[in-house]
Structure 1
Amino acid sequence: MKFTDSPVIELSVNDTRLSFHQDNGSMHVGTSVWPCSLVLVKFVERWQTPPECAAGENPYADALNFSSKRGIELGTGCGVAAMGLYLLGLRDIVLTDIAPVMPALKHNLKRNKPALKKNLKTSQLYWENEQQLRSLNPPFDYVIATDVVYIEKAVAPLIRAMEGLLADDGVVLLGYQLRSPEAHELFWEMCEEFFQIQKIPHDHLHPEYAYEESDVYLLRKKKNSRNS
């Protein structure tokens, strides 16, 4: 894997700057940085310390309270969302992806270790692999997924992994962009079965990262999801 001539994406999270090498010559989409990961991190950053809200008026205060919580990212790619959320207080977090993407992820974790000040946990995960899912010791308070809906055949394993890994009172932090009409239709049809869906208004995104094509959703388990 060659990163020497790859474009670098930088992201400031509070007072810390993260820097991500992409490998755009790779055959795997996970070795590129996609906008939704940036949008999600900056949304969380904005509402953890919202200057325009008086105390008690932050609509996302409970959903974004990372204190003593566990998180896992699915399809973490270069690691943007997980590293950003770690800096925003989600300190117990596991970064997962398929084997071919792991070298890019580990390269970027090493690159950002001075900013992170520790080695974050990683695990190989194929969403349909029940043994790998169990080995992660769910449930998690947060399941993070950004720009992971682009192949129709992967939708059902993704939804099952999200539902199986998430605690009953947990939150899926989803960064979303339409990539495939077929995958899009199936994903939201299945989400309706398992999750309560809250779409974040675009004017609640970070003003510098409110891309027209990218959305943020908060998903919570429906009470009867385990019986569906």
Structure 2
Amino acid sequence: MKFTNSPVIELVVNNNTLSLQQDNKTMHVGTSVWPGSIVLVKFADHWSSLNPKTPNPNPYSDLLNFSGKRGVELGTGCGVAGMGLYLLGLTDVYLTDIAAVMPALKHNLKKNKPVLKKSLKIAQLYWANSVQIKALSPPFDVVIAADVVYLEETVRPLVETMVKMVAEDGVVLLGYQLRSPEADKLFWEVSGEVFKIEKVPHEDLHPEYNYEETDVYIFRKKKNLIEDEKTVKEDSSS
């Protein structure tokens, strides 16, 4: 699989073609299409029940059954993962990022409206901003994140946001590539405290989108965290 610096990237998802504009010359990493988002979407596409060529048996049939589920993407950038999973059945999805990335995101959503058939919801979200998080009305069944771990100082706010966003029985779908050793080390330490983490075997990724340096992970809240959250809610309501 090859990734390109081409200003336009086309990605086929559920027999629809997303056309994604990117700009690698800006100072904002969110205006580029990164491998993690593509690998994540094509993994879901490969195992989707909507795909007539899906391998059988399908160990991911429950995980990737998005019908009737709410989703939110953190650090959506150009919108690849959120748009892709919407085309795979995610019913209600918010695409979120910082203000500087919004013009690129809005452009791609407008460009792909004929494929999406609607305008997907967008919102500014600075990780760990409690007001902005509350405005999105969590929890969500599916939290999407791809290539979002690259600065050590943003790791704890990111994980905190994941925890607040995802439902007790929900999942975080993470497309991941090591960008910074320091951020990587801290991310796995912090996320391991609150999430049960499952790595998708590389042989289960899409055979044509199986980039050796990019992985897909499935995060689920640990039971002790769920119990702690319930206790906090009960205390606050009493």
SS in 1 for 2:59: coil
How far is 1:91 from its partner?
2.3
Partner of 1:69: 69
| Residues 1:189 and 2:189 aligned together | yes
Partner of 1:215: 215
Give the number of equivalent residue pairs.
222
Mapped partners of 1:126, 1:12: distance in 2: 30
Q: 1:4-153, aligned counterparts within 5 Å?
A: 7-49=7-49, 51=53, 53-54=55-56, 57-153=57-153
How far is 1:52 from its partner?
6.3
Mapped partners of 1:52, 1:97: distance in 2: 32
SS in 2 for 1:193: helix
Percent identical residues: 66
Partner of 2:232: none
Mapped partners of 1:199, 1:6: distance in 2: 30
Residue type of the partner of 2:204?
A: H
Mapped partners of 1:160, 1:215: distance in 2: 21
Mapped partners of 2:167, 2:114: distance in 1: 32
How far is 1:53 from its partner?
3.8
How far is 1:128 from its partner?
2.3
How far is 1:6 from its partner?
6.6
Unmatched 5+ stretches in structure 1: none
TM-score (norm 1): 0.94
How far is 1:95 from its partner?
0.2
TM-score (norm 2): 0.90
Residue type of the partner of 1:210?
A: N
Asked whether the equivalents of residues 38 and 80 of structure 2 are also in contact (C-alpha less than 8 Å), the reply is: yes
Asked whether the equivalents of residues 6 and 24 of structure 1 are also in contact (C-alpha less than 8 Å), the reply is: no
Residue type of the partner of 1:23?
A: D
Mapped partners of 1:115, 1:6: distance in 2: 21
How far is 1:202 from its partner?
0.4
Root-mean-square deviation (CA, aligned residues, Å) is 1.5
Cα deviation digits, residues 149-171 of structure 1 (max 9, x gap): 00000000000000000000000
Residue type of the partner of 1:179?
A: R
